[in-house]
Structure 1
Amino acid sequence: MDGQLIAFTGIAAGLVAMPGADFTVVVRNALVSRRAGIACALGIAAALLVHTALAVAGVAAVLTAVPPLFRALQLLGGAYVLYLGLRTLQSVRGRREPGAEDPPVVSGAGALRQGFVTNALNPKATVTFLSLLPQFVPAGSPAMPRTLVLALIVVALALIWFPALALLVDRLGRWLRRPRTARAIEAVTGTALTVLGLGLVLEPLLAWA
């Protein structure tokens, strides 16, 4: 592996592991079950594959060149993250009622969809990869093969990090799933998703204002 690939892997690992909506939604699902956490992680990795493919194809350049389209997609993604946050907070309130201590049931398909949609509706990811990938293509070398390798590195990192995060949360599950602890963590993750969603929604709205 050459020096540029090593440097790219380090930067991409930091971007993938950075706490945000993806991190929070994986933790939220892993608290329900290991299966839901892993499925959510795979959904995020699949969405990252879409983002990197779009970046390689140059579609992200269109988002950059057409600000209204970028903001519309950002608004849509923010609304979905906000919805997840509010639904989580509502679940916390519901579980305070007598006899409502059982954790919510999330199917593998539902968790996979949550992970995919949360990441896929974030246009910033595509633009980030579009701006990052060309920096690690050596001058004079074919761009397509190199960018495909870089894209696969990103997806591979996601396939390592997010399932590992889900397994870690599940490993600590006996403590994390105690009713009081689970409510506290769900309240934190719900609040985090709500704040992230509000930020994503307000940014394009303020830009349009």
Structure 2
Amino acid sequence: MLTATLAFAGVAAIINITPGLDTLLVLRTSVAHGRDGGVAAALGILTGCLAWGVATAVGLTALLTASRFAYDVLRIAGACYLAWLGVSALWRARRRGQARQAEQARRLEEPVAASPRSRRAAFRAGLATNLLNPKAGIFYMSLIPQFIPAGAPVFSTTLLFTAVDLVELALWYWVVSYAASTLGDRIRRPTFRRRLEQFSGVAFLGFAANLALADHRA
């Protein structure tokens, strides 16, 4: 079991640190609202991963491959949500480039802080982007069984591997949020913030298109 756990941890670590939607969300939120905001987004993502792990342990994620309707409902809902995030980010970037830029620049150069409301919004964004992505469920269902040793209890081993994945993700998101929130003046410059919003908006729209066009068996 130890060998299987270490093998899974190694593969999962490579996948987890590969830049993707979740990492981008934590990075963007950390820049906009500081470390607390990034941590809140990460907690939302981790909660979603935990839900997918438990669903995999009890066999619910098999419905995503067995039922095209269930897959498509999640896929379309997730694509719409990501598109909304993308359009919102582009709209904020556009507003920062208009007449109020001078006042915004004065505020943005000050240290950012996440209010309780922004932390809740960040948590919801992290949770929604994860739960509304059927590929996240299929990831757990397709990866974890490959590392379960013959004769090992499926339920408990799946939960063990899910816990390993969550610990790795928590460490990675902490590094991302800490780095983004401590870069100082560079990331608080209005130009950088505007460019990040533009990049995030385009990236979210790209993720939305990819999810909307995803094949049921992909």
- 1:36 and 2:47 correspond: no
Q: Hey, what's the Cα distance between the residues in 1 that align with 2:55 and 2:153? A: 18
Identify the residue that residue 62 of structure 1 maps to in structure 2: 63
Deviations 1:64-123 (A, max 9, x none): 101121022111111111110110000000111222424597611111111111111111
Which contiguous aligned blocks of 4+ residues in structure 1 show a shift greater than 6 angstroms?
none
Structure 1 residue corresponding to 2:160, chosen from 130, 137, 149: 149
Q: Hey, what's the Cα distance between the residues in 1 that align with 2:71 and 2:172? A: 28
List aligned pairs for 1:160-179, cutoff 5 A: 160-179=171-190
Report SS of the residue matched to 1:59.
coil
Kept after mapping to 2: 8 A contact 1:84/1:193: yes
- 1:116 and 2:127 correspond: yes
1:157/1:96 CA distance change after superposition, 3 Å: same
What is the TM-score of this pair, normalised by structure 2? 0.87
Unaligned ranges ≥5, structure 2: none
Q: CA RMSD in A?
A: 1.8
List aligned pairs for 1:2-21, cutoff 5 A: 2-21=2-21
Identify the residue that residue 198 of structure 2 maps to in structure 1: 187
Identity %: 32
TM-fit CA distance, 1:15: 2.2
Q: Hey, what's the Cα distance between the residues in 2 that align with 1:29 and 1:153? A: 25
Residue type matched to 1:111 in 2?
A
Kept after mapping to 2: 8 A contact 1:31/1:173: no
What is the TM-score of this pair, normalised by structure 1? 0.91
Q: Hey, what's the Cα distance between the residues in 2 that align with 1:139 and 1:203? A: 32
Aligned residues between the structures: 205
Kept after mapping to 2: 8 A contact 1:21/1:81: no
Identify the residue that residue 88 of structure 1 maps to in structure 2: 89
TM-fit CA distance, 1:175: 0.6
Deviations 1:25-47 (A, max 9, x none): 11111111221111101111111
Kept after mapping to 2: 8 A contact 1:41/1:162: yes
Unaligned ranges ≥5, structure 1: none
